[in-house]
Structure 1
Amino acid sequence: MDNQIAGAVANSQLYAQKVQADAEISDLARFPSENPNPVVRISAAGTILYANNAADRILAEHGLTVGDTTLEIWQDWVKEVLATEAPKEVKIVYGSRFMSYSLAPVAAADYVNIYGRDITDAKEIERLKDELISNVSHELRTPLTAIKGAAEILLTYQDEDPEMREEFLGIIDKETDRLARLIEDVLDIARLQSGQMQFQLSEVLVPEMIEAAIQSTHSLIIQKDLQVGISLSDDLPIVFSDQDRLVHVVTNFVSNAIKFTPRGGKIQVRSRLTPDPDPDTAVAMVEVSVSDNGVGIEGSEIGKVFNRFQQAGDTLSGRPQGSGLGLHISKEIVEHLGGAIWVESEPGQGSTFFFTVPVGRDSG
């Protein structure tokens, strides 16, 4: 189950990219000189008969040009595909680049056409897919293990102490919610990557949006005996944006603060109309921030906290568990809505996460 959920998301994206890449190869093969990827023709004897501009640059790295005899490994591949009259695909690494070459034999003319394609980005996508499966599988296993353990205890001691039964039912309820949030995060990642996440713009009252986010995390706040302060400026305008997505972002900020704030600590939520409009668009911006008095973040880690699967505080002791998806999703949402997102932090002094969102059509 763990791998199926993550794998289905990643594989659908890879398949779509492969179909597109195959179509590009087919189209560009008809116009080799215009192809930005390398196109080469090599004879059965290993002589380079043709190379377009992209191929010339790669050949030059090996001290070769048209008319020369190609490298021995290529001679072997040419002989193989001419003998079998079957196309072949090979992958080669050039420094930090990954190249895929399709060898198409033309047996009647005794040569092979070779079409190259830079698959460096595809390799990175494949690496991210593997990372997705690995991390999500681990995170799915944690709540599933807790749910299964609590259920087994309830089945074994179902006639025992009612307080014990209530405790383990609470564990099942909490871990089920955790599992649901994780699955929703994975689905959001897939929607964002495929451009299928829907945004519904409407008038948003910032105080109500913040209150909704705090209410959604209320049980977690109570469990850790935390104080939550709210400070809102009097001049907050109505924002024209996506209320549900903004509630999601603030909820992620508050949830993150809860994880890193010690029991009995304090979280502060603030919002204001920024004194200066966005320098690029001249649009008025509303800023929302969430502060905690937790462990803080090392300076070298601040630039990573909005990356997928990156937990703020990775290098600090006592790192809380989590998928590391929430802040990345928040960044994608905020930037899609035309805002900015950042964090300010000092180790041992806590952290403050900020985002801005344009006021929109209600600014005037």
Structure 2
Amino acid sequence: MIWRSVVGKLWLTIIGLVTLVLLVLSLFLTEQIMDTYYKAELNNLEQLANHIKTTLEQPGDEGRAEELRSVLKMADLYDTYMIILGPDGSVRPTGISPNVPDIPWQDILEQTEIDRVFKGEEQVLRGRVMVEGDGKSSFPLFKDEVMLVAYPLQAPDGHIDGAVVLYRTQEQLSESQIKKLIFFSALIGIFLTTIFAFFLSTRITQPLIQIKKAAERMAKGKFSTRVPVRSHERDEIGDLSVAFNRMAAQLEESIHALSQEKEQLASILRSMADGVITMNAQGQVIVTNPPADRLLEDWHFDSETDPSHGALPSPLDDIFLRVVEEERELFGDVTIHGRTWAVVMGPLYARNQVRGAVAVLRDVTEERRLDKLRKDFVANVSHELRTPLSMLQGYSEALLDGVAQSPDEQREIVSVINDESLRMGRLVRELLDLARMEAGHMRLEKAKVDVPGLGRRVLRKFQSIAREQRITLTGKIPDSMAEAWWDEDKIEQVLINLADNAIRHTPENGEVTITLGQAGDKAHLMVEDTGSGIPEEDLPFIFERFYKADKARTRAQSGGTGLGLAIVKHIVEAHDGTVTAKSTLGQGTRFVVQLPLAGPKQTE
């Protein structure tokens, strides 16, 4: 784990380098110091050997024993072992130091070297002593390093009278103390270096650790995090901290700006009445606004009802595939669940590649319906006006051309022209009334209304017409009802239009019944016939302008304008009432109008 830390790596690197340098330096210093030390000790040993030789070679025996004892003490004082050999190579009894080491001099000097000494040659030796084993091992044993000087002793006549041998072992030398001193100095150096390396690495890595922690906090969304920078420590790491803080400030500003733009975009999307859907490259829905959420829920493509969560409805998916393939904006209408939606879908790019698409949907059901009604209205008005105009033109040309010779023929033509002009005037008048009603400009002249009297008056108006067409017209009108607060002319127009429709669509020997009643605070006006009836699939549309339940029947055949029921609906709704129709094909139709007796609320 320590190698995964900058502190550990730096710390171990410094300690390793310093340790290596100290070890190399210790070895080098040990070699140099010990070499110098050995040379100095060897020089001292040679000087001592010369002094002893000079003393022992003096003529005469007086005072020699005392001198010899002083020499032995001097040698012992210098931790030097001295051995005086006689002419035969044996040790003189008085010529040996009192403290003999565990390494006898015979193991140091070889016979050849002793022979050289007795031949007058001085022997100076330094090295490790190799002695024979103790019997347990056949290999020689290396003992301490020794330093030895052997000088021959000459008699006055010049022959070799003996030899003096001086030597020291490692125990007597200060080598071990010097090596220990160097070793402990190296250990102290390594220890101090360890402390220094740890302190230095901590000082270096502490700002890095702070930068790391700041980066982790920023990764969690805390973009206001900053790294403390000491003004007196503007080194490379300090510059890194300053650069990090500058980056953090710019990042915080950018994130804040992006958040503001995101909030603005989210507010715009939430406030839009149109649905906005964003898809990724696979066609999965990733972003929607509330209208789009409701739209997808209405289309049953939410996560709870559709296993393919986030998928587009089939009509939108087809447009999406075309947008991604062609990489261009597409427009079109889709119809789902009986409603029409205008769709504008365009591609979204990321590095010149299509990464998805965005679609804007608007409910244009009412616009398309109104547009269709407008077109149908223009076509129907053109058709309705063309018939009377054609008849007016044809009969007027007949009069001009003198086709009608007799007064009766002329009177008949003029009667037809008058009827068609009246029908055309009625059509124009009803169109104007309907236009005012749809524009909300209908004025209601509210007054007290005698409902039974109103019903009997309408019944009288259609009695003669019903008799001419051999239709039985009856009324179920109570003698008295609560007074209503209505626009009497408008309600009378409602009954007239319903009664007129019933009579016109009832064959001979049929029956038409007008019924008035009261239930609570509401009045019920019902017109029922035994005519041809209305197909069930046409019932939802009979209150639209110019709608014909019997497609084969023309306005001229029925005598109507196709606007009566539309006017009835507007008048009833203006009085806060309702109008419904029930019909069975071939058995008749029943229209029921329910009106509050108090009249419309806005006129109270």
Q: Same fold (TM over 0.5)?
A: yes
Superposition deviation, residue 40 in structure 1: 6.6
Contact 1:143 1:179 in 2 (8 A): yes
CA change 1:296–1:101 in 2 (3 A) is closer
Of the three residues 333, 339, 342, the one matched with 2:580 is 342
Q: Which amino acid aligns with 1:35?
A: M
CA change 1:118–1:261 in 2 (3 A) is closer
2:531 corresponds in structure 1 to 294
1:306 corresponds in structure 2 to 543
Q: Deviations over 1:56-78 (max 9, x none)?
A: 86994349xxxxxx946446887
Distance across 2 between alignment mates of 1:268 and 1:151: 41
2:513 corresponds in structure 1 to 268
* 3-state SS of 1:61 partner: coil
Distance across 2 between alignment mates of 1:291 and 1:230: 10
CA change 1:73–1:351 in 2 (3 A) is closer
1:6 corresponds in structure 2 to none
Superposition deviation, residue 166 in structure 1: 1.6
Of the three residues 55, 61, 79, the one matched with 2:311 is 61
Q: Which amino acid aligns with 2:527?
A: V
Distance across 1 between alignment mates of 2:381 and 2:504: 19
Q: Which amino acid aligns with 2:332?
A: K
Of the three residues 147, 167, 189, the one matched with 2:412 is 167
Superposition deviation, residue 246 in structure 1: 0.6
Q: Which amino acid aligns with 2:411?
A: E
* 3-state SS of 2:558 partner: coil
Superposition deviation, residue 119 in structure 1: 1.9
Listed as ranges, the matches of 1:1-364 within 5 Å are: 31-39=268-276, 51-53=287-289, 60-62=310-312, 71=320, 73-74=322-323, 90-93=331-334, 95=336, 98-100=340-342, 115-157=360-402, 160-210=405-455, 213=458, 221=466, 224=469, 226=471, 228-263=473-508, 266-272=511-517, 274=518, 276-277=519-520, 283=521, 285-298=522-535, 301-311=538-548, 320=558, 322-360=560-598
Identity of aligned residues (%): 27
Contact 1:91 1:98 in 2 (8 A): no
Distance across 2 between alignment mates of 1:323 and 1:29: 52
Q: Could you list the runs of 5+ residues in structure 1 that have no partner in the other structure?
A: 1-27, 64-69, 81-88, 278-282
CA change 1:131–1:35 in 2 (3 A) is same
Q: Which amino acid aligns with 2:593?
A: F
Distance across 2 between alignment mates of 1:29 and 1:323: 52
CA change 1:32–1:304 in 2 (3 A) is closer
Contact 1:232 1:270 in 2 (8 A): yes
Distance across 1 between alignment mates of 2:422 and 2:432: 15
2:29 corresponds in structure 1 to none
Q: Which amino acid aligns with 1:337?
A: H
Superposition deviation, residue 137 in structure 1: 2.4
Q: Which amino acid aligns with 1:161?
A: S
CA change 1:268–1:164 in 2 (3 A) is farther
1:10 corresponds in structure 2 to none
Q: Which amino acid aligns with 1:234?
A: D
CA change 1:118–1:304 in 2 (3 A) is closer
Q: Deviations over 1:14-72 (max 9, x none)?
A: xxxxxxxxxxxxxx997124324234789xx9x99x94435686994349xxxxxx946
Q: Which moved more, 1:309-318 or 1:229-238?
A: 309-318
1:66 corresponds in structure 2 to none
Distance across 1 between alignment mates of 2:379 and 2:473: 35
Distance across 1 between alignment mates of 2:552 and 2:515: 28
Contact 1:311 1:324 in 2 (8 A): yes
Higher relative contact order (CA 8 A, sep 6+): 1
Q: Which amino acid aligns with 1:91?
A: G
TM-score by length of 1: 0.66
Contact 2:323 2:345 in 1 (8 A): no
Aligned length: 310
Distance across 2 between alignment mates of 1:262 and 1:337: 33
Q: Deviations over 1:255-310 (max 9, x none)?
A: 102211234655333323x2x32xxxxx2x22223333433345555555434434
Q: Could you list the runs of 5+ residues in structure 2 that have no partner in the other structure?
A: 1-264, 302-308, 314-318, 600-604
Contact 1:252 1:330 in 2 (8 A): yes
Distance across 1 between alignment mates of 2:554 and 2:441: 38
Q: Which amino acid aligns with 1:31?
A: I
Q: Which moved more, 1:144-153 or 1:209-218?
A: 209-218
Distance across 2 between alignment mates of 1:301 and 1:113: 40
CA change 1:76–1:195 in 2 (3 A) is farther
CA change 1:73–1:29 in 2 (3 A) is farther
Q: State the structure with more CA Rg.
A: 2
Contact 1:150 1:168 in 2 (8 A): yes
Distance across 2 between alignment mates of 1:338 and 1:252: 19
Q: Which amino acid aligns with 2:528?
A: S
Contact 2:452 2:479 in 1 (8 A): no
CA change 1:33–1:286 in 2 (3 A) is closer
Contact 2:484 2:597 in 1 (8 A): yes
* 3-state SS of 2:507 partner: coil
Contact 2:278 2:288 in 1 (8 A): no
Distance across 2 between alignment mates of 1:306 and 1:94: 24
